[in-house]
Structure 1
């Protein structure tokens, strides 16, 4: 078999760890793994209160999901979680860009040190594959488009700087210790379960709350939006792709849209007329705004056979319906960083 040919393996009966499994992408990935018959172990952030979250349906006797409470900053707990695993999907991270301006050290501890803990545990236990989650934010404002994986990395926020550090650390384990790790770089993922810190649910929560004015930051940047199930399928495909070991791989659609045009699309999808106004509290600091993101997804297509399947208009309609039906989860009148 050619090294560029994606492998096809069954997940049936394989033990898989997902860090950050309670999150938007993580919980969707857990769903796909359970559907495919994997024994899923999840490392979730310890909480002393009875929050059930996106994994609620898996909490109980006979569940195919084994839940471990912990923190990726705790090397010992991570070492325990990785024990006996075939594959580790590392999604745990601090992700909000605005909060990274206020607390950059927390991003270094969770995103960089936490990734080192996961990589060290994967090395120690000899896992078949570690899949590390990056972000398109590491590229900063595009110098050339579409953005290939060899595009310069530009730390335009403490968040993106921490993710660049985490990516490089994960890849260093491939070069130094032959750890079979792949760095997955999703472009802007959206869909059901996403929190209001992201632009699409922010807009939809305002619309479905009856707002006549949609308050946004800059509306001129462009983004490449990928529906969440497509992103999760990309994780699974790359976990089985030997060609991707030691490399970063983009997951994006290759289609860009301005935030302003996105807002108009969401107004149409929701059926709730409104006008867009600029809220200065939502603007990023000068020099930090990423003006353009547009992916080249050739590696994912050619190496792993991954193809995004949900068109933007369909995905926005699905997401609008979900936000409408779960509006209680959103504080539409407050800017969530």
Structure 2
């Protein structure tokens, strides 16, 4: 599927494990099927932070992509996260993803870039070029916060778009509204179609108000319908409807995106378990299961958002 110019909702999926800690293929198939069937979902994103990809070995990552491809069919895209610390490993993962049927790659910056990659732009360009050459698939660039050192300044972003034509979208998580707006202007001025997919999870509505083509986020694994309502309302300029959707989303945002941030997707697994959509919410070590007290808070947030009614999943 050609994802060029495609916006809408791109949920960053979770990876279920069974009681022995292995990838639970049946639960993953059901999870991805539920997401693919949700109105407004245009692509399934696997092997990202939400999918605990750093805890998966190479074979498991390819296994996840294969399952996603089988579930998605022809109507929904499959985007494979590429998380690696050097171009050789990233290229190997990219080739695996292509072989397994991915439509595009979500290319994460190596943690090494946090040490000042913007001062060595050729290093960044070579990293992208190596992956693009290894697996000729469209690339979604992952733009993290500038404070983390893993975001690209507008000048470098513009150069990447010029010199790596396979980049078709940006997963934008700069965390600062002014930076988001600057990056959006770079995309609009680059001379070709590059989609802006916001992942600024604590201010999704505000980012859509600036402009944008879609939402790529782990919270889409729990509430794809709410995200679709908000996105569609913002796109048609219906601020009142967008605010109503945001009001439903807010309790989930508050309970998922708080300290310690390493548990954010762990909390989402617990939410799906409470909704009857995931048999085993346990993450893979070294992450620990959610405490009973936090589980109760997640339940209250689901009720407040309308996703649970009387302890059961709302229609």
Q: TM-score, normalised by structure 2?
A: 0.34
TM-score by length of 1: 0.33
Larger Rg: 1 or 2?
A: 1
Which structure's residues are more often helix, by fraction? 2
